[in-house]
């Protein structure tokens, strides 16, 4: 997997420009959607990003250790602070609190320690994480519930930002404005990548893109203006000429015609190549599509390379699975999923090679 850190930084600058007037954070959860948060985080920091979101404290700790910029703020989206307050403090992590219980624990902690920051997650209609409308109303009636907490931002998350015409977008925005009015004045954050493309009404003070940073398409059906940041290649382990019709792979349910040439690659579903791609999709050799044949195994998959330039299908040479012309979204479409899932599941066994990033050359 080759990660173009300059493309990620360029995407961040483009999104920051699109949301001009708001601060642009970076969501680097799930190891920066599989690209590697320890490399992506510092590259974005060098590009000027000051605010990061991760999913859980463990990711936050790893990011804190990778970032040279000590003043960067790292928000932890799962916001679970029960029994975790010391870890949050030790690594300067800021929780995103989404329950009254979490607010109570953090407030007690904050009062004992002379104040602590937190974001408040408000549930405006996605019904996943966050404080609901009736509970948010309590903060106006009983402001002491927030004692000691500096509200870094009041935030909410859009369920349907990738469908601009969906009526829930406007309903969530109205709910967000109502709920924020019950809270002490604080910066507001609402938009993920697709939310940024909904326009300035959705930008508020801080935008939180993830997918678009990594070059994924975030509004299906619209041209994707982001720079692709990922190339995924697999090594050919073995090639064979098929002289008599033969089945290939587990289940023996795909027959290969005599006269075909096959190449077996060192990548399977343990590396994130979806098993759903069996007999669908394919790789590319010098831009030519070579279809996947038979089932995808754990560590291996087989391609029909008949017709590809023989010099390019030798053991040790590489086949492209994700490249600029056939990106993670295209692979995802063949597997019946979304580009987010493809990138986030590229396995730990796949070597990451980094290019650019404003820190000399990487190996």
Ligand X SMILES: *Cc1c(COP(=O)(O)O)cnc(C)c1O
Cβ proximity to ligand X, 97 vs 248, nearer residue? 97
Euclidean distance between the first and the last CA atom of the chain, given in angstroms as a whole number: 12
297 binds ligand X (CB under 6 A): no
211 binds ligand X (CB under 6 A): yes
Cβ proximity to ligand X, 29 vs 227, nearer residue? 29
210 binds ligand X (CB under 6 A): yes
What residue is closest to ligand X based on CB? Answer: 210
Query: Which helix (H) or strand (E) element contains residue 23?
Result: strand 23-24
Cβ proximity to ligand X, 209 vs 282, nearer residue? 209
3 binds ligand X (CB under 6 A): no
Q: Of 192, 217, 260, 302, which one interacts with ligand X (CB under 6 A)?
A: 192
208 binds ligand X (CB under 6 A): yes
Cβ proximity to ligand X, 210 vs 249, nearer residue? 210
| Phi, then psi, of 24 in degrees rounded to 5 | -110, 115
Cβ proximity to ligand X, 5 vs 226, nearer residue? 226
Buried b (16+ CB within 10 A) or exposed e, 104-143: ebbbebbeeeeebbbbbbbbbbeeebbbbeebbeebeeee
339 binds ligand X (CB under 6 A): no
Asked about 250 being catalytic, the answer comes back as yes
157 binds ligand X (CB under 6 A): yes
What is the rounded distance in angstroms from the CA atom of residue 131 to the CA atom of residue 362? 43
CB of 334 to ligand X, least distance (A): 21
79 binds ligand X (CB under 6 A): no
Q: Which range binds ligand X by CB under 6 A, 144-152, 189-197, 280-288, 290-298? A: 189-197
Binders of ligand X: how many residues, by CB under 6 A? Answer: 13
CB of 54 to ligand X, least distance (A): 10
CB of 114 to ligand X, least distance (A): 29
Gyration radius from the chain CA atoms: 23
Q: Of 95, 209, 278, 294, which one interacts with ligand X (CB under 6 A)?
A: 209
| CB-based contacts of 237, cutoff 8 Å, min separation 6 | 264, 265, 266, 300, 315
What is the rounded distance in angstroms from the CA atom of residue 253 to the CA atom of residue 337? 24
| Phi, then psi, of 252 in degrees rounded to 5 | 50, 35
Give the Å distances, CA to CA, from 224 to 96, 182, 219, 269, 293. Answer: 30, 38, 8, 27, 29
Count helices and strands (H / E) in the chain: 11, 19
Cβ proximity to ligand X, 3 vs 290, nearer residue? 3
Beta-sheet strands, E only, within the chain:
2-4, 23-24, 26-27, 51-54, 73-76, 93-97, 116-121, 149-155, 188-189, 206-207, 230-241, 246-247, 255-256, 261-265, 282-285, 288-293, 301-304, 318-322, 353-355
How do beta strands 188-189 and 288-293 pair? unpaired
Asked about 88 being catalytic, the answer comes back as no
What is the rounded distance in angstroms from the CA atom of residue 3 to the CA atom of residue 328? 13
109 binds ligand X (CB under 6 A): no
Cβ proximity to ligand X, 236 vs 338, nearer residue? 338
What is the rounded distance in angstroms from the CA atom of residue 78 to the CA atom of residue 281? 35
193 binds ligand X (CB under 6 A): yes
Spot the catalytic one: 82, 250, 269, 354. 250
What is the rounded distance in angstroms from the CA atom of residue 27 to the CA atom of residue 29? 6
Q: Which range binds ligand X by CB under 6 A, 187-195, 266-274, 279-287, 350-358? A: 187-195
Q: Which range binds ligand X by CB under 6 A, 100-108, 172-180, 205-213, 220-228? A: 205-213
CB of 10 to ligand X, least distance (A): 16
Q: Which range binds ligand X by CB under 6 A, 111-119, 204-212, 280-288, 353-361? A: 204-212
**What residue ranges bind ligand X (CB under 6 A)?**
27, 29, 77, 157, 192-194, 208-212, 218
**Catalytic residue IDs:** 29, 250
């Amino acid at each position: 997997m080759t990660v173009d850190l300059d493309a990620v930084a360029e995407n961040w600058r483009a999104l920051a420009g699109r949301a001009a007037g708001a601060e642009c954070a970076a969501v680097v959860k799930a190891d920066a959607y599989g690209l590697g948060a320890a490399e992506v985080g510092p590259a974005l920091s060098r590009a000027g990003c000051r605010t990061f979101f991760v999913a859980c404290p463990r990711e936050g700790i790893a990011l804190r250790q990778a970032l040279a910029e000590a003043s960067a703020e790292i928000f932890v989206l799962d916001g679970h602070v029960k029994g975790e307050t010391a870890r949050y403090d030790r690594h300067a992590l800021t929780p995103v609190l989404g329950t009254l219980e979490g607010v109570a624990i953090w407030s007690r902690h904050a009062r004992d320690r002379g104040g602590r920051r937190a974001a408040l997650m408000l549930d405006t209609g996605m019904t996943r994480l966050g404080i609901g409308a009736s509970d948010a109303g309590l903060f106006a009636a009983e402001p002491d519930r927030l004692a000691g907490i500096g509200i870094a931002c009041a935030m909410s998350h859009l369920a349907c930002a990738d469908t601009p015409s969906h009526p829930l977008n406007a309903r969530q925005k109205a709910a967000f404005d109502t709920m924020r009015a019950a809270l002490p004045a604080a910066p507001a954050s609402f938009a993920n990548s697709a939310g940024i493309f909904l326009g300035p009404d959705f930008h508020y003070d801080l935008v939180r893109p993830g997918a678009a940073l990594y070059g994924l398409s975030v509004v299906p059906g619209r041209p994707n203006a982001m720079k692709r940041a990922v190339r995924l290649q697999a090594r050919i382990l073995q090639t064979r000429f098929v002289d008599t019709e033969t089945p290939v792979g587990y289940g023996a349910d795909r027959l290969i015609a005599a006269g075909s040439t096959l190449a077996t690659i060192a990548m399977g579903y343990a590396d994130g190549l979806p098993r759903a791609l069996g007999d669908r999709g394919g790789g590319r050799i010098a831009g030519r599509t070579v279809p996947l044949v038979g089932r995808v195994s754990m560590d291996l998959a087989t391609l029909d390379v008949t017709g590809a330039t023989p010099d390019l299908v030798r053991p040790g040479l590489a086949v492209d699975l994700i490249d600029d012309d056939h990106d993670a979204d295209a692979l995802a479409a063949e597997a019946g999923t979304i580009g987010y899932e493809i990138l986030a599941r590229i396995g730990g066994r796949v070597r990451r090679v980094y290019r650019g990033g404003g820190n000399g050359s990487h190996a």
